[in-house]
Amino acid sequence: MKYYPLFLDLRKRPCVVVGGGQIAERKTLSLLEAGADVTIVSPALTPKLKELSDSNKIKHRQKHFEDKDITDASLVIAATNSREVNSQVGGICRKKQVLVNVAAPPEESSFIVPSVVERGELLIAVSTGGASPALSRKIRLELEQRFGPEYELFLQKMTAVRNRLMEEVADESARRAALQALVDSDVLDLLRQGKTREADQRIAEVSGLHMK
């Protein structure tokens, strides 16, 4: 199967996780990081999920899954310890054309969750289409070594430069050229070496802006 790569904006979108175990916990935490409005449907919860429920960071329906639980859901994750229940959830979601990820059996999913390397606003996703999760993990580990924490700082500085350029430089081609020059410069190398002051000086030189 050939999957279509896509990044979703789930901020304040209703998402449902069916299941309350370790897999459900991991999926829930990822959804919360993306700003989703998460509801869990499960008779029981892990201690961490119980803590999130008690602090009103998630909603909890303490019950077994019913069709009505996915009404108005933007995205659903089926992560119970029952393949039969997971398949039921997957089938209902596909029938209602709701995006669904099924932990097992994964072929019931309408989307899969890739291995991810995250450096602030930089998000690198790796997928083998479900053929080899082990290879996805191996590639993710290699990417984590290649793209270190300096990329998060670099993107923060690039955002500040871009905002200044939008305010102060009317010529779009000039803005684009300045940003490309920064990407091609040695600013990342300086940040990797911990030379933040030198990096800021180079940014000012390349962009023509005096950065505060």
How far apart, in whole angstroms, are the C-alpha atoms of residue 74 and residue 14? 6
Helix or strand holding residue 14 (H, E): strand 14-18
Class of domain 114-145: alpha beta
* Range 14-113: architecture per CATH: 3-Layer(aba) Sandwich (3.40)
Give the containing element (helix H, strand E) for 52: helix 47-54
- Give the C-alpha separation, 212 to 36, whole Å: 34
Q: What's the pLDDT score for residue 210?
A: 66
pLDDT-derived band at 212, boundaries 50, 70, 90: low
The string of pLDDT tens digits covering residues 110-166 is 999 999 999 999 999 999 988 898 999 999 999 999 999 999 999 999 999 999 999
Task: Kindly calculate the radius of gyration of the chain based on its CA atoms and give it in whole angstroms.
Answer: 22
pLDDT at 7 over 80: yes
- For the chain, the structural domain boundaries read 14-113, 114-145, 150-207
Residue range 69-110, pLDDT digits in tens:
999 999 999 999 999 999 999 999 999 999 999 999 988 999
Query: So what's the pLDDT on residue 2?
Result: 82
Instruction: Report pLDDT digits (tens) over 24-42.
Output: 999 999 999 999 999 999 9
| Per-position DSSP letters for 130-177, written without gaps between them | TS-HHHHHHHHHHHHHHS-THHHHHHHHHHHHHHHHHHH---HHHHHH
- Asked, as a colleague might, if the bond just before 105 is cis with ω within 30 of 0, I would say yes
* Residue 180: other Cβ atoms inside 10 A: 11
CA distance 120 to 138: 21
